[in-house]
């Protein structure tokens, strides 16, 4: 019996090892031990902020929802034009309401081990979001489908350096728009156990996300009020406008205690002034105004200050990312968010048309800027390509490699006597080598970070093996990960409840004539 059990254990271990197709870091929080990089001095920040307040006080923002306008008015905003929804906000009102935002909050998942702390010195990596197209080396670039959405969910669920399950990573263009979010949520709660995003367009879609979050977590709506379990990324319609559907989604989230990441879409030269200081002033005005509004809807609403200011290619109008401009606005955005103790969102972004050196260095610049700016929510952390028009499966792996590297070098360094290795140095004669030393041999398996992708073999053996470059190796990695994908368990009773909810909603939507 003992012998057999031993053999079974070995077989089980071997099975587990072969199913762990890709060696990666374990799941866990990413703590940023670094001081944030303060690129701008206080006086310059004051000037940007003063301009932002002048924008809000003298020019105003359009809230394209009478409901929102009346809430703003009740809380001290001045309505300039009731037809358009243009309101001006005094800095005192803005500051008083922004101050109601929590500095730190927890996003809850159906698996408590996947709960995320947002704020402070935590970095949480979010998947790519909102890409209309999908791309990989085998099938090329094509409009996204539900099958692609599922593939991305499986891949990102398997990657331990990705903290969020994400929202719409890629559009499921083959599904009808009115019920597309229901399919997405069912996939999210069955294929992943990480915190998932809602679709923030209109109250109804957000209602569905909240209802499904409550079901899979098995908690009441009251409990959800203090335990946010879903969120949206809410872009303003820059310059100085927030449309009705986004306001609806935001209000639904805020009323129910869920989280909102407010991100002005301030591309310098397009939706904002071409000068970075001006674009940042506009970003700051829009972000603070919408965050203040969320606090008017419900004080204490968990919010994230989103920075997304970048520049555009002035010949084509196309957005550019990972540029020097993007690095600066990301760093300064963090400084502006910290003025209010707000959790900060920035992104891992690039504008390349291929998963090539450009995609990689633009992303590397973005990731470093995120980390040095104390970004708490790194949006588009894995898989974004082509200025957001494409979610790339190979790029997911390249990004994961970079993110793992970043997290690894921040881990504490062992400076014990054993690590200082005086005796090991003593044991090796001048001009000798440490390869066979006991100190080396007893540590070599785990001494160094294991990359997902990088290769150390020499040119000759790399050539013999087919000269496979990193992007093509990434193709192999995502396939192995999806092949070895493991579905997280979900209580069948909860799944049944989710399915019943979705079926009822499908019927309601069909009846309403929207489908």
DSSP for 480-494, written as a single string: HHHHT--PPP--HHH
DSSP for 192-258, written as a single string: --SEE----SSHHHHHHHHHHHHHHHT--HHHHHHS---EEEEE--SSSEE-HHHHHHHHHHHHTT-
Q: Which of residues 266-285 bind its own copies (CB under 8 A)?
A: 268-279, 281-282
Say if residue 422 is exposed, middle or buried (CB neighbours under 10 Å; 0-12, 13-18, 19+): exposed
| Residue choice 95, 175, 202, 462 for contact with its own copies (CB under 8 A) | 462
- The stretch among 209-217, 338-346, 425-433, 501-509 that binds its own copies (CB under 8 A) is 425-433
> Shortest Cβ distance from residue 70 to its own copies (Å)?
19
Three-class secondary structure assignment of 153-164: HHHHHHCCCCCE
Kindly state whether residue 413 participates in binding its own copies, applying the rule CB under 8 A: yes
- The candidate with the shortest Cα–Cα distance to 236, out of 215, 250, 219, is 250
| Residue choice 22, 48, 131, 346 for contact with its own copies (CB under 8 A) | 48
- The candidate with the shortest Cα–Cα distance to 199, out of 142, 129, 265, is 129
Kindly state whether residue 391 participates in binding its own copies, applying the rule CB under 8 A: no
Kindly state whether residue 83 participates in binding its own copies, applying the rule CB under 8 A: no
DSSP for 244-303, written as a single string: HHHHHHHHHHHHTT-EEEEE----BTTTB-SSHHHHHHHHHHHHHHHHHHHHHHSTT--E
Between CA 476 and CA 137 the distance in angstroms is 10
| Cβ atoms 30, 122 nearer than 8 A | yes
Between CA 317 and CA 255 the distance in angstroms is 38
Kindly state whether residue 464 participates in binding its own copies, applying the rule CB under 8 A: no
| Residue choice 109, 179, 295, 323 for contact with its own copies (CB under 8 A) | 323
Q: Which helix (H) or strand (E) holds 69?
A: helix 66-74
Residue entry with tokens 């709660």: 189
- The stretch among 35-43, 109-117, 165-173, 339-347 that binds its own copies (CB under 8 A) is 35-43
| Residue choice 469, 491, 507, 508 for contact with its own copies (CB under 8 A) | 469
Sign of CA dihedral 333, 360, 146, 480: negative
Kindly state whether residue 471 participates in binding its own copies, applying the rule CB under 8 A: yes
> Shortest Cβ distance from residue 93 to its own copies (Å)?
19
> Shortest Cβ distance from residue 373 to its own copies (Å)?
12
Kindly state whether residue 432 participates in binding its own copies, applying the rule CB under 8 A: yes
| Residue choice 75, 115, 173, 237 for contact with its own copies (CB under 8 A) | 237
Kindly state whether residue 300 participates in binding its own copies, applying the rule CB under 8 A: no
| Cβ atoms 272, 48 nearer than 8 A | no
User: Binding mask 350-379 vs its own copies (x if CB under 8 A, - otherwise)?
Assistant: -xxxxxxxxxxxxxxx--x-----------
388: left (phi over 0), alpha (psi -120 to 50) or beta: left
- The stretch among 56-64, 179-187, 190-198, 214-222 that binds its own copies (CB under 8 A) is 56-64
Nearer to its own copies, 26 or 459 (CB): 459
| Residue choice 172, 212, 260, 320 for contact with its own copies (CB under 8 A) | 320
Kindly state whether residue 40 participates in binding its own copies, applying the rule CB under 8 A: yes
Nearer to its own copies, 12 or 34 (CB): 34
- The stretch among 203-211, 218-226, 337-345, 401-409 that binds its own copies (CB under 8 A) is 401-409
Kindly state whether residue 47 participates in binding its own copies, applying the rule CB under 8 A: yes
> Shortest Cβ distance from residue 133 to its own copies (Å)?
9
Nearer to its own copies, 165 or 327 (CB): 327
Kindly state whether residue 118 participates in binding its own copies, applying the rule CB under 8 A: no
| Residue choice 72, 304, 327, 498 for contact with its own copies (CB under 8 A) | 327
Strands 344-347 and 78-81: unpaired
Nearer to its own copies, 241 or 298 (CB): 241
Kindly state whether residue 204 participates in binding its own copies, applying the rule CB under 8 A: no
Nearer to its own copies, 84 or 486 (CB): 84
CA 255 to chain CA mean position, Å: 23
User: Binding mask 478-507 vs its own copies (x if CB under 8 A, - otherwise)?
Assistant: ------------------------------
DSSP state of 53: H
Between CA 313 and CA 249 the distance in angstroms is 32
Total number of residues that touch its own copies (CB under 8 A): 123
Residue entry with tokens 């229901």: 182
- The candidate with the shortest Cα–Cα distance to 475, out of 146, 22, 132, 15, is 22
| Residue choice 20, 29, 99, 454 for contact with its own copies (CB under 8 A) | 454
Kindly state whether residue 8 participates in binding its own copies, applying the rule CB under 8 A: no
> Shortest Cβ distance from residue 162 to its own copies (Å)?
17
Kindly state whether residue 439 participates in binding its own copies, applying the rule CB under 8 A: yes
Between CA 456 and CA 468 the distance in angstroms is 13
Question: Which tokens go with 421?
Answer: 């290795």
Q: Which of residues 130-159 bind its own copies (CB under 8 A)?
A: 141
Separation in Å, CA 243 to CA 84, 303, 402: 10, 19, 36
- The stretch among 177-185, 214-222, 298-306, 383-391 that binds its own copies (CB under 8 A) is 383-391
């Amino acid at each position: 019996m003992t012998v057999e059990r031993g053999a079974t254990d070995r077989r089980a271990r071997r099975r587990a090892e072969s199913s762990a197709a890709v060696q990666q870091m374990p799941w866990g929080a990413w703590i940023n031990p670094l001081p944030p990089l303060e690129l701008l001095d206080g006086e310059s920040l004051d000037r940007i902020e003063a301009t932002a307040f002048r924008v809000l006080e003298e020019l105003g923002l359009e809230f394209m929802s009478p409901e929102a306008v009346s809430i703003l008015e009740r809380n001290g905003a001045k309505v300039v034009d009731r037809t358009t929804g243009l309101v001006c906000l005094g800095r005192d009102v803005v500051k008083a309401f922004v101050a109601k935002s929590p500095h730190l909050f927890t996003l809850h998942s159906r698996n408590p081990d996947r709960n995320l702390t947002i704020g402070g010195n935590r970095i949480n990596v979010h998947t790519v979001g909102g890409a209309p197209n999908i791309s990989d080396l085998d099938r090329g670039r094509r409009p996204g489908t539900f099958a692609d959405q599922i593939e991305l969910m499986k891949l990102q669920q398997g990657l331990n350096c990705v903290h969020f399950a994400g929202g719409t990573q890629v559009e499921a263009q083959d599904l009808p728009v009115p019920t597309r979010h229901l399919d997405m949520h069912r996939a999210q709660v069955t294929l992943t156990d990480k915190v998932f995003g809602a679709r923030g367009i209109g109250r109804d879609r957000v209602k569905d996300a909240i209802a499904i979050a409550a079901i899979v977590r098995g908690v009441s709506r009251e409990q959800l009020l203090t335990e946010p379990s879903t969120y949206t990324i809410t872009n303003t319609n820059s310059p100085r406008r927030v449309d009705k559907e986004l306001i609806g989604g935001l209000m639904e989230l805020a009323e129910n205690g869920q989280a909102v990441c407010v991100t002005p879409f301030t591309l310098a030269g397009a939706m904002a002034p071409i000068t970075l200081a001006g674009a940042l002033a506009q970003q700051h005005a829009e972000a603070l105004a919408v965050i203040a509004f969320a606090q008017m809807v419900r004080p204490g609403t968990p919010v994230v200050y989103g920075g997304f200011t970048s520049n555009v290619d002035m010949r084509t109008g196309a957005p550019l990312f990972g540029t020097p401009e993007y690095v600066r606005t990301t760093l300064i955005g963090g400084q502006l968010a910290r003025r209010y103790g707000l959790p900060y969102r920035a992104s891992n972004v690039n504008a390349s048309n291929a998963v090539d050196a450009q995609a990689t260095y633009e992303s590397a610049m973005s990731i470093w800027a995120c980390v040095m700016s104390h970004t708490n929510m790194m949006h588009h952390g894995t898989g974004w390509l082509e200025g957001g028009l494409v979610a790339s499966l190979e790029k997911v792996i390249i990004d994961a490699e970079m993110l793992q590297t970043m997290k690894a070098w921040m881990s504490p360094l062992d400076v014990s006597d054993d690590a200082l290795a005086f005796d090991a140095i003593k044991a090796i004669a001048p001009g000798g080598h440490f390869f066979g030393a006991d100190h080396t041999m007893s540590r070599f398996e785990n001494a160094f970070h294991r990359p997902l992708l990088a290769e150390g073999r020499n040119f000759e053996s790399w050539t013999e093996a087919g000269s496979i470059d990193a992007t093509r190796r990434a193709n192999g990695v995502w396939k192995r990960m999806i092949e070895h994908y493991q579905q997280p368990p979900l209580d069948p009773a909860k799944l049944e409840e989710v399915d019943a909810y979705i079926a009822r909603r499908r019927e309601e939507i069909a009846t309403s004539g929207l489908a």
